[in-house]
Homo-oligomer: A and B are copies of this chain.
Amino acid sequence: MADNKVYRASTTAPVNIAVVKYWGKRDTKLNLPTNSSISVTLSQADLRTLTTASCSASYSDGDSLTLNGEPSEVSGARTQACFRELRARRTGLEAANSSLPKLSAMPLRIVSENNFPTAAGLASSAAGFAALVQAIANLYELPDSPSELSLIARQGSGSACRSLFGGYVAWRMGDKEDGSDSIADLVAPASHWPNMRALILVASSAKKGVSSTSGMQQTVATSGLFQRRITEIVPANMNTMEDAIKAKDFAKFAEVTMRDSNSFHACCADTYPPIFYMNDTSRAAIRAVESINAKAGKTIAAYTFDAGPNCVIYYLEENKPTVLGAFTQVLNGVSGWKEGSAGVTSSVRLEDGIASALRDGVGRVIMTGVGEGPQKTEEYLVGEDGKAVKF
């Protein structure tokens, strides 16, 4: 009698927001980057992907993937690369121990849910591929370390490799042609600098115009300034940022974060035709952060923008009244403020032009902090019968 059992495992995985940005591939097939990068992993209490990987000989329709309730292609090269790499590792285990069930030969059924809007510049593909890889690794009971799994996740989505860790994470670009040294590693765990906070101003939840996958290669191909970024600017930012994180030097952390975001968006603007991810709301958020720092007389807040108009503002818990209060004053009508934050008062009064641009363009805020890497969970999106659980 055939083994028709449904095997399953679930994990959550976090979003990460880079403070030294990944932008540009030197190998598009293997997702090998033109430069190293560093990110902060955000708390999964606020932003996370939940993924259940299951497999069963009874799955007659081959591998499948459901994202946020919608069937999704598994035939893409990136997803296929992840499946292939993970199955190869499972095959190795099965070959070494014949008592193991032959999961590697069974169709996979993957079901995944984000608790935040997809493709709005909130790094959903990073959390998504990290969760997919970790969930299958759990299902297959792979002994691989997070760095080893990061090699696989990287092939799904470059920045996904950084979501295999919590805290402060570096993706080392490596220099080998096969990409075997292009992996993520831990700069410092969340507990090293646990008072790091992030406020996200969601400027738009519309799908962005130019995908980062396409945009970054247009930059590589056409920006005259880009070479300087990858050969000079980023290597220097990597060093300064690692030092800043290790020393918990917020002012240094903030300056590199802001400068690197600016450098990345400058290279987008220098792309031909130019790519603009930031809009007038984004620029108002920059001016707001500058006002907060000017009023404080020191750098207590840092802005950064991924491939979209949303502003992520890093700050430390002890500066919450000043930083958060400046925004609650002008954005008290939008959703997402946590209990108690509306009552925070700040000495900063944003000028009218900044305040009205923020009011016009920010639809929602997300208050979060630094968090842990993927967490195994007993919450399943595939039932014991192999059917996707409906919510």
User: Contact residues of A with B, CB < 8 Å?
Assistant: 223-225, 227-229, 232-233, 236, 255, 258-259, 262-263, 265-267, 269-274, 276, 279-280, 283, 286, 290
Contact A224 B272 (CB under 8 A): no
Residue among A255, A258, A262 with the highest chain B CB neighbour number at 10 A: A262
Copies of this chain, whole number: 2
Q: Which residues of the other chain, B, contact A255 by a CB distance below 8 angstroms?
A: 272
Shortest CB-to-CB span from A89 to chain B, Å, is 41
Q: Which residues of the other chain, B, contact A258 by a CB distance below 8 angstroms?
A: 272-273
Q: Which residues of the other chain, B, contact A273 by a CB distance below 8 angstroms?
A: 258, 286, 290
Which residue in B225, B232, B236, B286 is a CB contact (below 8 Å) of A266? B225
Distance A62 CA – B38 CA, assembled complex (angstroms): 62
Shortest CB-to-CB span from A336 to chain B, Å, is 24
The residue of chain B having its C-beta at the shortest distance from the C-beta of A231 within the complex is B228
What are 11 A-B pairs with beta-carbon distances under 8 A? A223-B266, A224-B233, A224-B236, A224-B263, A225-B229, A225-B270, A228-B228, A262-B269, A265-B269, A276-B283, A280-B280
Q: Which residues of the other chain, B, contact A269 by a CB distance below 8 angstroms?
A: 262, 265-266, 269
Residue among A232, A259, A272, A279 with the highest chain B CB neighbour number at 10 A: A259
Q: Which residues of the other chain, B, contact A228 by a CB distance below 8 angstroms?
A: 224-225, 227-228
Contact B259 A224 (CB under 8 A): yes
Shortest CB-to-CB span from A154 to chain B, Å, is 26
Shortest CB-to-CB span from A64 to chain B, Å, is 36
Contact A259 B276 (CB under 8 A): no
Distance A271 CA – B270 CA, assembled complex (angstroms): 14
Distance A265 CA – B271 CA, assembled complex (angstroms): 11
Q: Which residues of the other chain, B, contact A270 by a CB distance below 8 angstroms?
A: 225, 262-263, 266
The residue of chain B having its C-beta at the shortest distance from the C-beta of A237 within the complex is B224
Q: Which residues of the other chain, B, contact A267 by a CB distance below 8 angstroms?
A: 225, 266
Q: Which residues of the other chain, B, contact A265 by a CB distance below 8 angstroms?
A: 269
Q: Which residues of the other chain, B, contact A279 by a CB distance below 8 angstroms?
A: 280, 283
The residue of chain B having its C-beta at the shortest distance from the C-beta of A255 within the complex is B272
Q: Which residues of the other chain, B, contact A229 by a CB distance below 8 angstroms?
A: 224-225
Shortest CB-to-CB span from A214 to chain B, Å, is 16
Residue among A223, A225, A233, A286 with the highest chain B CB neighbour number at 10 A: A225
Distance A233 CA – B225 CA, assembled complex (angstroms): 8
The residue of chain B having its C-beta at the shortest distance from the C-beta of A268 within the complex is B266
Shortest CB-to-CB span from A4 to chain B, Å, is 53
Distance A276 CA – B305 CA, assembled complex (angstroms): 15
Shortest CB-to-CB span from A312 to chain B, Å, is 16
The residue of chain B having its C-beta at the shortest distance from the C-beta of A234 within the complex is B224
Q: Which residues of the other chain, B, contact A274 by a CB distance below 8 angstroms?
A: 262, 286
Q: Which residues of the other chain, B, contact A276 by a CB distance below 8 angstroms?
A: 283
Distance A279 CA – B353 CA, assembled complex (angstroms): 13
Shortest CB-to-CB span from A362 to chain B, Å, is 15
Shortest CB-to-CB span from A235 to chain B, Å, is 11
Distance A250 CA – B214 CA, assembled complex (angstroms): 28
Distance A255 CA – B273 CA, assembled complex (angstroms): 10
